[in-house]
């Protein structure tokens, strides 16, 4: 197994983390990779809601030790990957004791050794419990869009991430860009600010173009690659998966 553990985050809410995690997991699974999606942002619009999944177990069971993390693994039949998640509810991990989340993070770290890629959908909220997941990730993917508030939130997130895990490789994904050119400009502006003020280099991982069929697939609770395989959004996700296979 390649054993790459990747945290996916953003500086603002509603920017497409869960959607990206699910579709990227599926794209890599279609390339015969063993992939695990761990939902660490199990709030209202989590993976259970977006993919219409009814999980049998609660995160409370995992946190109190009555269920092991291995028994939480759910094979998503409509995709090519495994998921650890919970039904839509308040984000239990955000309010759980820090020590229990740290134990869970270590369990996830060991479980990830049985996968080529493990994606952690991290909470947008500034909570201490999220730090545990960032600490074990070798790569952190930060999602940004063209909204100035998104770039501002991303800059603040980068500052925090470098304090939490100074050795992590931070890669930028520009989501919902009107064009590749617009996405490139957003990345360059963020890179300039990061290099000038916090002395951090950022690599551009991928630009995902705005695509109306993405919204349709989300509303229909389906994966974009399954519903609209020839769409621009699906093309960008597949290219991102190919880049991951080539570079990681």
- Is 95 a domain residue? yes
Determine the Cα–Cα distance for residues 98 and 189; give it in Å rounded to an integer.
35
- Is 227 a domain residue? yes
Tally Cβ neighbours within 10 Å of residue 1: 12
The answer to whether the CB of 211 falls within 8 A of the CB of 233 is yes
User: How large a percentage of the chain has pLDDT more than 90?
Assistant: 76
- Is 155 a domain residue? no
Q: Identify the H or E element spanning 187.
A: helix 180-197
**pLDDT tops 70 at residue 167:** yes
What local confidence, expressed as pLDDT, does residue 143 receive?
Answer: 97
Q: Over the stretch 188-219, which tens digit does the pLDDT of each residue have? A: 999 999 999 999 999 999 999 999 999 999 99
What total of structural domains would you count in the chain?
A: 1
Residues paired with residue 142 on neighbouring β-strands, in sequence order = 9, 172
- Is 191 a domain residue? no
What is the pTM for the complete model shown?
A: 0.95
**pLDDT tops 70 at residue 90:** no
| Higher pLDDT, residue 124 or 148 | 148
**pLDDT tops 70 at residue 182:** yes
CATH number of the CATH domain containing 25:
3.40.50.300
Give residue for tokens 């409370």. 60
Structure tokens at 172: 């930028």
Provide the residue range defining the domain that includes 101: 4-140+211-247
- Is 97 a domain residue? yes
Q: Identify the H or E element spanning 186.
A: helix 180-197
**pLDDT tops 80 at residue 39:** yes
- Is 157 a domain residue? no
- Is 80 a domain residue? yes
- Is 115 a domain residue? yes
């Amino acid at each position: 197994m390649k054993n790459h553990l990747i945290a996916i985050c953003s500086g603002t809410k509603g920017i497409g983390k869960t959607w990206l995690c699910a579709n990227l997991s599926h794209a890599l699974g279609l390339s015969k990779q063993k992939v695990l999606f761990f939902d660490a942002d199990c709030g209202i619009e989590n993976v259970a809601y977006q993919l219409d999944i009814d999980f049998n177990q609660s995160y409370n069971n995992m946190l109190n030790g009555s269920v092991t993390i291995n028994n939480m693994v759910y094979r998503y039949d409509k995709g090519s990957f495994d998921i650890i998640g919970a039904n839509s509810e308040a984000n239990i991990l955000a309010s759980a004791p820090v020590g229990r989340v740290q134990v869970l993070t270590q369990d996830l770290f060991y479980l990830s050794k049985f996968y080529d890629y493990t994606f952690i959908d991290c909470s947008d909220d500034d909570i201490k419990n999220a730090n545990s997941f960032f600490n074990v990730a070798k790569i952190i993917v930060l999602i940004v869009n063209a909204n100035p508030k998104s770039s501002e939130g991303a800059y603040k997130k980068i500052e925090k991430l470098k304090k939490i895990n100074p050795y992590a490789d931070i890669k930028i994904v520009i989501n919902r860009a009107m064009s590749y050119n617009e996405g490139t400009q957003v990345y360059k502006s963020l890179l300039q600010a990061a290099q000038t003020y916090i002395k951090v280099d950022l690599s551009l991982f991928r630009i995902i173009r705005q695509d109306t069929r993405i919204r349709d697939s989300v509303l229909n609770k389906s994966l974009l690659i399954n519903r609209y395989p020839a769409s621009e959004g699906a093309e960008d996700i597949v290219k991102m998966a190919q880049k991951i296979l080539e570079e990681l």
